[in-house]
Structure 1
Amino acid sequence: MLKAHRLAHSGGSADLLGWLSGRLGGWLAVLDGDGRPVLLGRSGSGSGSGPEAALAARGAAELTTRGVRSAVLEGADATALLFALGDDRVLAAVLRRPHHPGAPTLLADSAVPLALVLRAEEAARLSERAAVAEARAREAVLHLLMNGRLSTARQIAEALTPSLPDPLRVYVVECSAGRRAEVARICGELSGGRAWIVRCPVYARHLIALVPDGPAAAGPDGDALADALAAVDGDCVVGVSEQAWLGEVPAAWTQAFHALAVARGRDERHARFGPGPELALAGRFSTSAAADELTR
C-alpha cells in the first residue's frame, strides 16, 4: 500500500495502474460510465477491445445496475474484479483463473489513492483549460482596446476582473517566457489587484499591463513597480508609457514599446516614455508591424 500511495503521488494514475497490472499479471483499466476504457494498465494484453474489455464492460454495467461499490463477474476462463471510483468511473481487473488470493484486497485498497489522483488530475485539466480560456479572453479585450471598441472591452473585462483602469499607464515587460507568471503576480500584488494584465499575442517574451495611474504606478520620484518587475530576473526589462486614458491605449502601448527599447541599454533596465528626443525616436520603425498585429 505504501508503494501504491507513492506511485499515485509521484507518477499519477497511469503509473499506479501500470504497477497494478504488472503485479497482478492481468488486464487492468479505468472505465467510464458506459464501460469504455479511459485508462489502460501496461500489460502484454493491454487493449481497449477484446474479450477482457468486453467482460470488464459487462461487470461495470452490473456494478452500476446493483448500485454497489464492488462486484465480481466470472467469465469463461477469467474473473473480472470491479471497484467503484466515484464520478461514474470503475477500476476493472480481468485476471486469469486461478488468480492470486490477495488480488481483491490489493485492488480494493489501491482504489482509494487511484480515485483521489484521478480527481486531482481532472481538476488540473479543468484548471488548465480555464486558464487558457481566460488568457484568450484577455487577449480579446486587448484587441478590442486597440481597435477603439471600449464599451465591449469594458463589458468583457468586468466579467474577468479587475475593471479596466482609466486613467492608466501601459507597462510592457520583456522577460523569459518562464518568468511571465511571476511578473504577472508581482504586478498584481503591487497594484493592489487593479492592473489589467495580458500576455502579448505578438511577442512571446512580452507581458502587457494596464496599471491605474497613481501611487501604484509611475510616480515623480521613481517607479517602484518598474523596479520590482525589472528585478524579477536579469533579463527583464520594462517600458512605461505616459499617463493615458483608456481610449488612448494604442498610443500608450507604442510609447511603452519605445521606452522598452531604451530600457535595454540602461543599468536599471526600465524607462518611462517622456517628452525628450531620446524616447520619442527610439524604436520609431520597429513598432508599426507589431501594432498592426495587435489591432487585428
Structure 2
Amino acid sequence: MEDLLRVVARPAAAVDGVLGWLGERVGGEVAVLGADAGVESGTAAFPDEVLGDDVTALARRVAAGRVASAVTVGGAWSVRLERIGDRPPYRVLVVAGRRPLVKEEAVAASGVCALLDLLRRAGETDVARREYERKARQVGLGLFMALMAGDAMLARRMSGGAPPPLLDCERLRVHLLWCVPDDQDRLLRAYGDASGFHGRGLMVRCPVYDEHLICLIPEGEGLAGELRGLVGENRGYALGISAPLPPAATAEAYEQARHALAVARNAPDRVAGYRAREPLDRLLPPDVAMGWANTFLRPIDSAPVMTVEITRLAMRFPRAGVARLLGISRNTVTAHLRRVESALGVDLGDIRTRAVVALALAILGRHRDTVPARPLPAATLDDLFESPSVASWAASALQPLDDPARPQLRSTVRAWLEAGADARHAARRLGNSRTTVTARLRVAERLLDRDLLAAESGVHELLYAFHHSGEIRLDGAP
C-alpha cells in the first residue's frame, strides 16, 4: 500500500502508476477503457487480443451502467471488468491474467477503481479551476479595456453588480512590470484572490506585449511595494509607474507607465516613475480644437464604431498588437485602416499623418461629452498651436535635447523623425551608422523620460513640438 501511495503522490503519472501497481500485484496486464470501449491507458504489455468482440460487448454493458462488474475469457486470458465511478460517463477497468483473480486480488482491483475515480474527479477539479482562472482573466482584461476606453460605468456593469474596489477608488496608478512571460502566471496566482482580483488592484497580462504585466493599483495600496520588491529581487525585471489619475483616465496612465518603463529598463534600480507633462490635447483651446478635429474627422463620422476604435488603437500599438488585442486578424485591421485612409485622403503609413490623426481622435475623446455653447469655429492645425500654453509645452518638450554636452542629439532626433522614425534611413541622411543613431535615441529617451522606440505616443509628442518650432511640418491635415 505504501508503494501505491508513492505512485499517487506523482500526479502527472498517477493513473499509469496505479495501473502498473495493480498489474504487478495480480501478475497480469491492466487497462482503462472509455465509454466507447476504447483503451485510454494501460500497462505497456496489455494484449490487444483480449479485447475481442465478446469482451468489447461486455465492456460496453459495464460502461453503460447495466452491470457493475463481470468475469469472462478473452482468448487465452482470464478477464475481469470493473465499472469505475458511480456516475456516468463510466469507464471500465480491465484486468487480464493467465488465471482468474483470487479474492484478495479482486478486492485490490475494486479499490483501484475507487482510486481511479478520485483521480478523475481531481483532474476535473483542476480543469475547472484552470477554466475559472482563464475566465477571470478574460473578465479582468475586459475591465481594463473598458477603463482604457474611459468608460468606468461599463466596467462596473461588466462586473455583474458587484464592482471590485478598484472601481471605487479616486485615483490609481498603472504599474507596468517588465518580466519574462513564464513568470506571469505565477505572479498572477501569487497575488490573486478567489474572485480573480489582486486585493484592491488588478493585474492582467498585456495582450500586445508578451513581457508586460499590467497592474492597476489604487493610490497607497500595498501591492505597489510588493512589485518594487520583485524588481529588487529579480535583475531581469523593470517597473514603470504612472502618476495617480482617476480610473476613467486609465489610458493616459497606461501611456505614462509605458514611457516610465522605457526609462526604468536603463535605470540603476530598474524602477522609474513618470515625470509629468500635460498631454497636448488637454492644453488646446477647447472650441478651436474641437472645431478642427470635427472638420478633419467628418469623413469618418458614418464609419462603423469598430473602424474608429481600430484606428484609435492603431495610433498607439502596432497592427499585429491591435489584432491580438481585439481577437481579429491583421488583415481585418488593415482593411479597416484602409477604409479610414480612403475617407480622409491620408496615408497612415506616414508617422506624421498618424500623429495628426492621433491628435484629432484624442481631442474628440477628451471632449466627447461636451456640448458646445456656440457653433464651433473653423480652424486649421496651425491655429491649435498659437496659444502661449502650447508654446511653453513645446519648448519644455524639446529642452532636454539641447544638451551642450551632446550637440548632435537634437539634429539626430529630428532627422530620425523626418525619416519616418527609421534609424537606417536617418543614419544614411546623417552619414552615421545605424548603431550610432540608435544609441543617441536611447540617450534621448532617458533625457526626455519618453519611450521613443516602442511607444508611438512619445514620437507624436516630439512631432508636435517640432511642428510648433517650425523644424518639421505635420502634413495630411487642414
Partner residue, 2:2: 2
What code does the residue aligned with 1:250 have?
A
Partner residue, 2:31: 28
Partner residue, 2:154: 152
Partner residue, 1:17: 19
TM-score normalised by the chain length of structure 1: 0.77
Partner residue, 1:256: 257
Task: List per-residue Cα deviations over 1:165-190 (Å, max 9, x = no partner).
Answer: 4421100011122332454467669x
Partner residue, 1:137: 139
Partner residue, 2:81: 81
SS across alignment from 1:86 = coil
Partner residue, 1:177: 181
Q: Which runs of 5+ in 2 are unaligned?
A: 278-399, 401-445, 458-478
Task: List per-residue Cα deviations over 1:174-218 (Å, max 9, x = no partner).
Answer: 1122332454467669x981001111111222111111113547x
Partner residue, 1:113: 115
Partner residue, 1:214: 220
Q: Return closer, same or farther for 1:261/1:169 CA change in 2, 3 Å cut-off.
A: same
More strand by share: 1
Structure 2 contact 84–91 (Cα < 8 Å) conserved: yes
Instruction: Report which stretch shifted further, 74-83 or 132-141.
Output: 74-83
Shift of 1:245: 1.3
Aligned partners of 2:254, 2:215: CA distance in 1, in Å?
10
Partner residue, 2:234: 233
Shift of 1:27: 5.1
**Aligned equivalent of 1:287, options 433, 455, 458:** 455
Query: Are 1:195 and 2:201 an aligned pair?
Result: yes
Shift of 1:266: 1.9
SS across alignment from 1:3 = helix
Identity among equivalent pairs (%): 25
Structure 1 contact 55–75 (Cα < 8 Å) conserved: no
Partner residue, 2:282: none
Structure 2 contact 7–18 (Cα < 8 Å) conserved: yes
Structure 2 contact 31–39 (Cα < 8 Å) conserved: no
Aligned partners of 1:280, 1:76: CA distance in 2, in Å?
80
Structure 2 contact 261–272 (Cα < 8 Å) conserved: yes
Aligned partners of 1:280, 1:184: CA distance in 2, in Å?
32
Aligned partners of 2:236, 2:450: CA distance in 1, in Å?
20
Instruction: Report which stretch shifted further, 248-257 or 260-269.
Output: 260-269
What code does the residue aligned with 2:239 have?
V
Shift of 1:46: 5.3
Q: Which runs of 5+ in 1 are unaligned?
A: 218-222, 290-296
Shift of 1:161: 6.3
Structure 1 contact 162–193 (Cα < 8 Å) conserved: no
Structure 1 contact 40–47 (Cα < 8 Å) conserved: no
SS across alignment from 1:227 = helix
How does 1:31-110 map onto structure 2 within 5 Å?
31-32=34-35, 36-37=37-38, 39-42=40-43, 43-45=45-47, 51=53, 52-61=55-64, 64-65=65-66, 70-75=68-73, 77=75, 78-88=78-88, 89-95=90-96, 98-101=99-102, 103-110=105-112
Task: List per-residue Cα deviations over 1:55-95 (Å, max 9, x = no partner).
Answer: 2122333xx346xxx42243565433314423433442152
Aligned partners of 2:178, 2:232: CA distance in 1, in Å?
12
Q: Return closer, same or farther for 1:50/1:163 CA change in 2, 3 Å cut-off.
A: farther
- Give the superposed CA RMSD: 3.4
Of the two structures, which has the highest relative contact order with CA contacts closer than 8 Å and spacing of 6 or more? 1
Aligned partners of 1:50, 1:162: CA distance in 2, in Å?
59
Q: Return closer, same or farther for 1:241/1:156 CA change in 2, 3 Å cut-off.
A: same
Instruction: Report which stretch shifted further, 226-235 or 242-251.
Output: 226-235
What code does the residue aligned with 2:63 have?
A
Task: List per-residue Cα deviations over 1:239-282 (Å, max 9, x = no partner).
Answer: 11011112211111010011111111222221110237657542
Q: Return closer, same or farther for 1:150/1:37 CA change in 2, 3 Å cut-off.
A: farther
Aligned partners of 1:116, 1:263: CA distance in 2, in Å?
49
